[in-house]
Amino acid sequence: MKGHNEIKKDIPSGFSVRATEWVGTTTSLTVHTVIFLAALILPYTGLVSTDKAFLVLTTVVSLEAIYLAIFIQMTVNRSNQSLAEVEKDIDEIQEDVDEIGEDIDELSEDVEELSEDIDEIQEDIGEIQEDDAEDEKTDATTNNALQKIENNLQQIIKEIETLKTTR
């Protein structure tokens, strides 16, 4: 995207630009006021007749108005060109924003999928822990049963030994 200074470089800095910039200044107002006052006072000095002074003043004012209108239109045209470039930049930015929005949507979907995967993994861990707890209970029950069997076998062995010795 072009910055303000880059757009300004694209605009030709010819007489028309300088003239339209100058017309809007305090200096321009002062110069025009002095010229108009001089044109109005000049006939009273006797150097020029009133008719000639007003004819020259009217002609100069008319020509100035025509040129200012042309300069203003040239400025409007340059402004429209600059606006078209800015509009193009805005369109490109909007496209980028739309792409970013799509990327965010995709990332949101990925995050949701990851959340689902995490939930499944947690469920699996819970099942494994339940299975381990059941296995531990089974192991404890089996160990208890084996301990009882071993105790019973030792008692039977003692009884057999006792029977052998009493016979």
Model confidence pLDDT, tens digit, residues 37-94: 998 899 999 899 999 989 999 999 999 899 888 888 888 888 899 999 999 999 999 9
DSSP designation for 13: -
Question: Residue 97: its pLDDT value, please?
Answer: 94
* Phi/psi at 16 (5° precision): -65, -40
Average pLDDT value over all residues in the chain? 86
Apex CA 61: angle with CA 57 and CA 67, to 5°?
Answer: 145
Between the alpha carbon of residue 49 and those of residues 35, 40, 45, 46, the distances in Å are: 16, 11, 9, 7
Question: Residue 86: its pLDDT value, please?
Answer: 93
pLDDT greater than 70 at residue 12: no
Question: Residue 66: its pLDDT value, please?
Answer: 92
Q: Is the pTM of this model over 0.75?
A: no
Compute the chain's Rg from CA coordinates.
51
3-class SS letters over the chain: CCCHHHHHHHCCCCHHHHHHHHHCCHHHHHHHHHHHHHHHHHHHHCCCCHHHHHHHHHHHHHHHHHHHHHHHHHHHHHHHHHHHHHHHHHHHHHHHHHHHHHHHHHHHHHHHHHHHHHHHHHHHHHHHHHHHHHHHHHHHHHHHHHHHHHHHHHHHHHHHHHHHHHC
Question: Residue 115: its pLDDT value, please?
Answer: 92
8 A C-beta contact, residue 43 and residue 50? yes
